[in-house]
Amino acid sequence: MSSNLQEEPSEALPPRGHWQRWLHKLKPSVRIQSEMDRAVQFCRYYSKTLIIIFAPLIFLPLVFTPGTSESKCLYVVLLMAAYWLFEVMPLAVTALIPAFLYPILGIMSSSKVCESYMPDVNFLSFGGLIVALAVEKCRLHNRVALRVLTLVGSDPKWVMFGFMTITAFLSMWMNNTACTAMMVPIAQSVIEEWNRNIPEEEVDGNESTELVVRHDKADKDKPKDGSHLGESSARQEVVPGEVKQMTKEDEAKAKSLLISIAYSSSIGGTATLTGSPTNISSIGLLKNLFPLDGGRSVTYVKYFLYAFPTMIYSLVISWLLLLFYFIGPMKTIRQLNCFKKKSREQKRDRIKDLIVQRYKALPPVTFAELSVLVIFGILIVLWVLRDLGLPGFSGFGVLFKKGFFSDATSAVLISVVLFAFPDTRPSFTIPIQTGKNIGKPQPFGTLMDWATMKARFPWDVIFLLGGGFALAAGVKASGLSVAIGNLLSNMGNLPVGIIQLLCVLMAIGITNIASNVVTASILIPIVSGLAQKLTLNPLSLILPVTLGCSYAFMLPVGTPPNAIVFAPGFLKLSDMIGAGFFISIATSLVIVLHSQTLARLYIDLDNFPYWAMVQNGTVAANVTANA
């Protein structure tokens, strides 16, 4: 018996720290499996560290490749792409890599690469973000959103269209993430109303109604907020029963509403030059790659005329596709008629009442809100009127020295005004001072303050944009963009529309797994080199790719708005992948069709411009050969 007692502990798991001895006693197959599991766990736990260490070593042969500096620049591009893709470090920190690798590898001098981090386009983003913070600080965006939602009605499809419209509009001027974060709580309130049961005279097959009837309740037991549905002739109050599980129809509507907010935020941000850092990055890259153009080919107005119609088309198509995907084509078509069930009308009235109550609960319009609205309008006017490009009126920019006044000038000017303008109505009366305050100036608040700036300004966006500009500067200086264009020259046999579609699909595919700005920083130099090789107007590829870089619809990690709407738990990954796939295909076709048709009325996309014929100070060889 004693021998048995001594053998029993050997059957149990060993104490911590002695797993090797226990693992040795197992069968070889079990031992190998356990070792493999530990190896997998080790790689998962230290995955970022392993990528930081081994990525430079894997690409290191490119540094020692004999020849020109293209391979060295490719080493930096691949290294940054790997770090950005796997997010082993903060994206803004990875963007600093060119600042030390370009001088070390002899691609660019330290002074030139550091200058490329802060061009005027980055100051345009800087000013636009400050204005957006001022809008958020006074909560003007919340008032605008609720006001629009009170006007669109209470029908689910129109509620979703209203959410998409106001989100896209706000995203044209504000940060996409902030717009989504503001709209999601409002959408969740609407979803809660959809989820509440309503008595139905005719119950739909897909819906289940659970009712609790209470007889002759006293007035004190009735809801005081007026949200009850009323009483029957027998003085019976019909009270919605507690919903244990969402109906299929309400679940589909909830999914479509949430995902529509994320998609409309991404789509709306493409409409204006300052709507997304991706747009600013692309135009800044255009200036760096083609300095002879100087940004004159794509002004604020020209970009708006190109991108705004595309945004409208994409928004409407996304709305319809989301209805078809989640609600169903036939049911969506049936909902367009005028036959509505009473219970659904009650739900819609209750949703409308909810939004109206939220809007009425807002405080009166403040002096700060009016001031920000007026100043913001002035900024838009300055951006629009600087360079209209119209015959007989080119804009007020001609009043200044050529190339001196840019959109960044207006953005920084308005930003400074926000820090000086008071947030309350000025009073010219002398306030009564007592005690220690006698003789001391009374401080007043401003529309924007440095405390808000320090707490909420996205400094990482500025560094990320700068890293993209520096990366593109090295790609241009080393000639890597021309080399890649030569490799892709076989695409010259394809129609321009097909080339645009392939480039847009490539941008959409990459931006679903990488940051939008990162995708633009990598692809814009490549497609510009391809356009030069094929003697195409670089804008014919740069502008469609710019829009495609913002269309991350398939994965929650593709963009912050996707992650925000995925967090409440209504959506599954399959929902976002399925809906995002069809919308990605549809919107990419919209971009190409618009670029091939109406966009040519606003921007010259057909002729090969003179500023694209020069590369590194010399006329491109392929242009000379084709001349």
Does residue 562 lie within any of the structural domains?
no
Give the pairing type, strands 614-615 and 618-619. antiparallel
- For residue 10, what pLDDT is reported? 46
Q: Is the four-CA dihedral 44, 45, 48, 52 of positive or negative sign? A: negative
Between 297 and 204, the more confident residue is 297
- Model pTM score: 0.69
Instruction: Compute the distance between CA of residue 360 and CA of residue 496 in angstroms, rounded to an integer.
Output: 53
**Average pLDDT for 556-562:** 81
Q: Give the pLDDT confidence score for residue 306 in this predicted structure.
A: 92
Nearest to 309 by CA among 16, 68, 593: 593
Per-residue pLDDT tens over the stretch 107-120? 999 999 998 898 88
Residue 383 has pLDDT above 90, yes or no: no
Domain that holds residue 27: 17-53
Structural domains of the chain, count? 1
The SS3 of residue 231 is: strand
89 in any annotated domain:
no
Q: pLDDT digits over 127-153, tens only?
A: 888 988 898 888 888 888 788 778 776
Residue 43 lies in a domain: yes
Specify the pLDDT at position 358.
84
DSSP structure class, residue 93: H
pLDDT for 423 equals: 87
The rounded percent of the chain whose pLDDT value lies above 70 is 76
Per-residue pLDDT, 41: 77
Residue range 76-100: average pLDDT? 88
Domain presence at residue 517? no
CA angle (315, 318, 323) in 5-degree steps: 130
Give me the sign of the Cα torsion angle 533, 538, 542, 544. negative
Looking at the predicted structure, is the pLDDT value of residue 237 above 50?
Answer: no
> Quick check: 216 pLDDT over 80?
no
Q: Which of 29-38, 503-512, 524-533 has the lowest mean pLDDT?
A: 29-38
Whether residue 27 lies inside any domain: the answer is: yes
**Which tokens in the block code for residue 524?**
């814009």
- DSSP, residue by residue, 353-365: HHHHHHHHTSPPP
Whether residue 396 contacts residue 404, with contact meaning beta carbons closer than 8 Å, is answered with: no
Q: What is the mean pLDDT of residues 517-537?
A: 87
CA distances from 304 to 105, 126, 380, 602 (A): 40, 19, 12, 10
**Residue whose entry in the numeric block shows the structure tokens 């710019």:** 546
Q: Specify the pLDDT at position 370.
A: 94
Q: pLDDT: is 399 or 569 the higher one?
A: 399
pLDDT at 116: 87
Q: Is 28 contained in some domain?
A: yes
Q: What pLDDT, on the 0 to 100 scale, is given for residue 294? A: 62
521 — phi, psi (to 5°)? -65, -30
User: What local confidence, expressed as pLDDT, does residue 516 receive?
Assistant: 85
Average pLDDT value for the chain:
77
- pLDDT above 90 covers a percentage of the chain that reads 23
Q: Is the model's pLDDT at 203 over the cut of 50?
A: no
Is pLDDT above 90 for 98?
yes
Helix (H, G, I), strand (E, B) or coil at 390: strand
pLDDT tens profile 446-477:
999 999 999 988 888 888 888 888 888 888 88
Measure Cα distances from 416 to 267, 400, 403, 421 in Å: 30, 20, 22, 9
275 vs 316 pLDDT, higher one: 316
* Per-residue pLDDT, 393: 67
Of 233-237, 306-310, 445-449, least confident by mean pLDDT is: 233-237
Name residue 62's amino acid: L
Residue 592 has pLDDT above 90, yes or no: yes
Question: How far is 343 from 356, CA to CA, in rounded Å?
Answer: 20
As a three-state string, the secondary structure of 208-227 is CCCEEEEECCCHHHCCCCCC
The string of pLDDT tens digits covering residues 218-233 is 333 333 333 332 333 3
Q: In this predicted structure, which of 302-306, 360-364, 476-480 has the lowest mean pLDDT?
A: 476-480
19 vs 280 pLDDT, higher one? 280
Reported as a single tens digit per residue, the pLDDT across 390-448 is 656 677 878 888 878 888 898 899 999 999 999 888 776 666 666 666 555 556 789 99
Spatial separation of the C-alpha atoms in residues 624 and 545, rounded to whole Å = 27
pLDDT for 186 beyond 90: no
Give the range among 78-82, 161-165, 559-563, 577-581 with minimum mean pLDDT: 559-563
> 551 with 278: CB under 8 angstroms?
no
Asked if residue 574 has pLDDT above 80, the reply is yes
Tell me what pLDDT residue 201 has: 41
Region of residue 245 (left: phi > 0; alpha: psi -120 to 50; beta: else): beta
Which pLDDT belongs to residue 337?
Answer: 54
Residue 548: what residue type?
G
- Name the residue with higher pLDDT: 230 or 625: 625
Are 540 and 500 in contact, with CB atoms under 8 Å apart? yes
User: Which pLDDT belongs to residue 601?
Assistant: 85
pLDDT band at 29 (very low <50, low <70, confident <90, very high): low
Calculate Rg over the CA atoms of the chain: 30
Q: Per-residue confidence at 626, pLDDT binned at 50, 70, 90? A: very low
pLDDT at 198 over 50: no
31 found inside a domain: yes
pLDDT for 332 equals 65
Within a domain: residue 21? yes
Tokens representing residue 98 in the block: 């060119």
Between 174 and 106, name the one with better pLDDT: 106
Highest mean pLDDT out of 95-99, 358-362, 477-481: 95-99
Task: Give the pLDDT mean for 346-369.
Answer: 81
Q: Label residue 246 by pLDDT band (50, 70, 90).
A: low
**Neighbouring C-alpha atoms within 13 Å toward the C-beta of 29:** 0
